[in-house]
Structure 1
């Protein structure tokens, strides 16, 4: 039987990119190594692309998703992961970077574009923020609150339900132990946190291996 070769495309911000994980390189990189190992043991080939850009909002996603997917389009199909909101909800210079209404429009627009290339789309929840930095100005001049995280996650959940897409709830997984799963900046996971995200995501990519 001919083996399948699919692509997994991970769109997102620095949490997709894996910032601040000097050990594993973030959750997507862990998945990449896992998929490669499964392939070398006789599984299907699943090539994962980490398309995370630090600081990006859903505005950037809408601008680039079409080109990125056209450039990486596997014959046997593509799996798309969309992880945005942590920058969108941030307030910078007294102004929210992307308000909830616009965020919803952007994510829906990105999904429409992605559907031309893929039927397998996963929306990724926003992580909770450490109590120490919630509501305070970060090094990058951004203010984030856990109330806003809930509002934006609700939007993502709603979009997933309306469009019969999959929702990956990292938020619930982090909630109780967030203070030990987040790095010093209170926004990005540390290697423990990224490891946990990978553990949750492995059964998802397992289906395609």
Structure 2
């Protein structure tokens, strides 16, 4: 008997796939892959891209309960949570979501997600391009790669302490970030999104 599961991807514009006019971002690549596999005889895995541009973990905490309730597959769910690039940004010297609140928010979201799934993946924050590291950009936001390390460590610790999976996109981008990031220095380009999808394909294959 074929199973039907849902994959829910919570996140910001990087989950949504912004700046990728070719493939539509890493989650869309995975959607097409899962559908192709289903057509070839695999189990059905329906993926929902729940990324919202500009969102922080404050927004995640507000909506995760309703989103999960609306999309709860009887045969199981896989949940990906990818936040931090907006949380760690500073505006006029004030961090949007400081590291302490970030950790609390992630834990709250996990608590909610665990009501619906044991398969929860925390997604690392990507490094920023050298040309925006520590620079105030047109949106008024300032981001640093030092903060990325701090917030990623929080995610790693939470994953380890709660027996969750950690998806390390950061390491895959670090050496080639200037090639894999778009002109804004924050979002991946189509090549970068392709690499993200390649990293996650072996994960979703476990459910196909």
Q: What TM-score do you get using the length of structure 1 for normalisation?
A: 0.99
Q: What is the match of residue 185 of structure 2? A: 186
1:126 aligns with 2:122: no
Q: How much has 1:139 moved relative to structure 2?
A: 2.3
Q: Deviations over 1:38-60 (max 9, x none)?
A: 00000000000000000000000
State the Cα RMSD in Å: 0.4
Distance in 1, Cα, partners of 2:70 & 2:107 = 21
Q: What is the match of residue 56 of structure 2? A: 57
Which one is further off, 138-147 or 10-19? 138-147
Q: How much has 1:144 moved relative to structure 2?
A: 0.3
Q: What is the match of residue 74 of structure 1? A: 73
Matches within 5 A, 1:80-91: 80-91=79-90
For 1:155, what is the secondary structure of its paired residue?
helix
Q: What is the match of residue 172 of structure 2? A: 173
Distance in 2, Cα, partners of 1:26 & 1:59 = 23
For 1:7, what is the secondary structure of its paired residue?
strand
Distance in 2, Cα, partners of 1:148 & 1:172 = 15
Runs of 4+ residues over 6 Å off in structure 1: none
For 1:42, what is the secondary structure of its paired residue?
coil
Q: How much has 1:171 moved relative to structure 2?
A: 0.1
Q: Deviations over 1:149-189 (max 9, x none)?
A: 00000000000000000000000000000000000000000
Distance in 1, Cα, partners of 2:138 & 2:49 = 25
1:208 aligns with 2:196: no
| Matched residues, number | 208
Q: What is the match of residue 112 of structure 2? A: 113
Runs of 5+ in structure 1 lacking a partner?
none
